[in-house]
Amino acid sequence: MDDVRTIYNRLWDQFSKEMPRGNHDVDKWIDDRQDDRYGITLITRPHDLIKQEVSSFLEELAGIEPGQYYYPPHDMHVTVMSIISCFTGFRLQQIDKNDYREIISHCLASVGPFEIHFEGITASPSAILVQGFPTNSSLALLRDNLREAFKTQNLVSSIDSRYSIKTAHMTVVRFRQPISNIEQYMQVLSSYRSHVFGVIKVNELELVFNDWYQRRDVTRLLAAFKL
């Protein structure tokens, strides 16, 4: 947990230095209808009370910067593992879904339910994140199981291809245009640095086909797993 907190703090420290200077990244893909980056992800979703809490936070931000991309409640999620990171041209027909279901099911056999405590926010150069803290080692164990299992299989996968995932955050805002009201925006963000959003007990995971933003109109459920 300390390691996860260190990651979040490092992101915030960098963001809070750069944002007042107007240094942030705009997502040029987010409104591009030609964007065909798709992948497969193992995720879990927050319950309604946390969605409501996060949505209240996003409403405050939208009151200052309505032009940014704010995740609707039905798209909020935690990435457990990106099995196939989104890339241009990927289609479900290119793989056998059953192979992936079997491997993931095997990896889950030694993992029980676990909790994620959502407290505070942090940010990357292009997004705002709600901080998630697993309360035991089950999530880390599951991720290690998946890494090892896919190493031994001749299947398309790109686990850890961008970075080795350690956190349990939710991405809730993406910057679709330059922020004009930086001072006000930072004030609201700073006020939520330690805000308690709630706790979820993770006893079910979803394997989904998704676009980069996990938008509901694209996302397709491939399998659900009970822990």
**Each residue's pLDDT tens digit, 1-51:** 569 999 999 999 999 999 999 999 999 999 999 999 999 999 999 999 999
Could you tell me how many residues make up the chain? 227
Report the SS3 class of residue 227.
coil
What contacts 156, CB < 8 A, 6 or more positions away? 84, 94, 95
What H or E segment, with its residue span, contains residue 221?
strand 220-226
Domain 2-226 sits in which CATH superfamily? Cyclic phosphodiesterase (3.90.1140.10)
pLDDT at 150: 87
Rounded to whole angstroms, the Cα distance separating 6 from 205 reads: 26
Express each pLDDT in 69-86 by its tens digit.
999 999 999 999 999 999
Express each pLDDT in 114-154 by its tens digit.
999 999 999 999 999 999 999 999 999 999 999 999 888 87
pLDDT at 1: 55
Express each pLDDT in 149-179 by its tens digit.
988 887 878 665 555 788 999 999 999 999 9
Rounded to whole angstroms, the Cα distance separating 63 from 185 reads: 10
Rounded to whole angstroms, the Cα distance separating 128 from 117 reads: 17
The whole-model pTM stands at 0.95
Residue 8 gets which letter from DSSP? H
- Please provide the average confidence, as pLDDT, over all residues in the chain: 94
Report the SS3 class of residue 4.
helix
Give the start-to-end residue ranges of the domains of the chain. 2-226
Decide: 76 and 172 in contact? Cβ < 8 Å.
yes
What contacts 15, CB < 8 A, 6 or more positions away? 24, 122, 123, 124, 125
